[in-house]
Amino acid sequence: MRSIELSISNLRKAEDLWYNDGTIVIIAGTTAFCVYSRVQVKAVSSVFGDMLNLPREGEYETVEGRVVVRVPDSEIDMSHFLRMVFRPGYDSLAYEAEPIAFSALASFLRIAHKYNVEKGVAVAVDRLSRRFGAPLHTSLGHRTAWDKVEAHLNASSRVTFDPADAIEAVNLMRLVNSSATSADSPPRFTDVTMAVALTSGKPQNPNYFDPSNTY
């Protein structure tokens, strides 16, 4: 086997995800991330770890002497995923934690779901469920002005949401639901939760939210 050293000048180094004592360089798009050993990565995700341990034949790439692994994922998604895994960890996604943008949470969930990071998926699903399910478990009233519902959603989940992301949210929920372990497993996201997400993408005035219309 022969290594081919790549020039880092041709890549964007992710400064906050480039550990000088890292042993692997993951390249997504044109962004390079230097993280820790395969053992540590495998502890996060056996699927991801196994991918990094694929046998190498012939030539392989290196950056600054570290083995390169190229992934087909979006550099934005991979950035959010690795950031939440390594600094400070995906437990920070719990609803008691700091506020987070839906786009960042969605990026993490897409990669965590793809690489079977079970605990990470569970935490992200819980946070999203709170964002889109909370108004159905409150005393907001049967017919409530949507701006009040949105205020409640933002406060209870601490997830900021752009109405333009409504379709992406529903597609992500369907993706997660499609991976049910058995036919008897309940969906992680209910139809009601997806209906609320869709409602979030509609013009808000003078709309009213009526829980009975989501069933």
Specify whether the CB–CB gap between 139 and 163 falls below 8 A.
Answer: no
Write down the pLDDT at residue 206.
Answer: 43
Token pair of 198, please?
A: 């869709």
- In sequence order, the 6+-apart residues with CB closer than 8 A to the CB of 7 are none
pTM, two decimals, is 0.80
Segment holding 63, helix H or strand E: strand 59-63
Q: Peptide bond before 206: cis, by omega within 30 degrees of 0?
A: yes
**CA dihedral of 206, 195, 92, 164, whole degrees rounded to 10:** -60
Distances in Å between the Cα of 200 and the Cα atoms of 25, 77, 100, 132, 211 are 39, 23, 17, 9, 13
Q: Which residue from 186, 207, 176, 195 is spatially nearest to 136, judged by alpha carbons? A: 195
**Beta bridge pairs of residue 32:** 13, 27
pLDDT tens sequence for the chain (215 residues): 678 888 888 899 998 899 988 888 999 999 999 988 666 666 677 777 677 665 566 678 888 888 888 899 999 999 999 988 877 667 777 766 778 899 999 999 999 999 888 888 988 998 888 888 755 544 545 556 667 767 767 676 788 888 889 999 999 999 999 886 556 678 888 888 888 888 777 654 445 545 455 43
Instruction: Report which of 72, 213, 114, 101 is spatially closest to residue 159, judged by C-alpha positions.
Output: 101
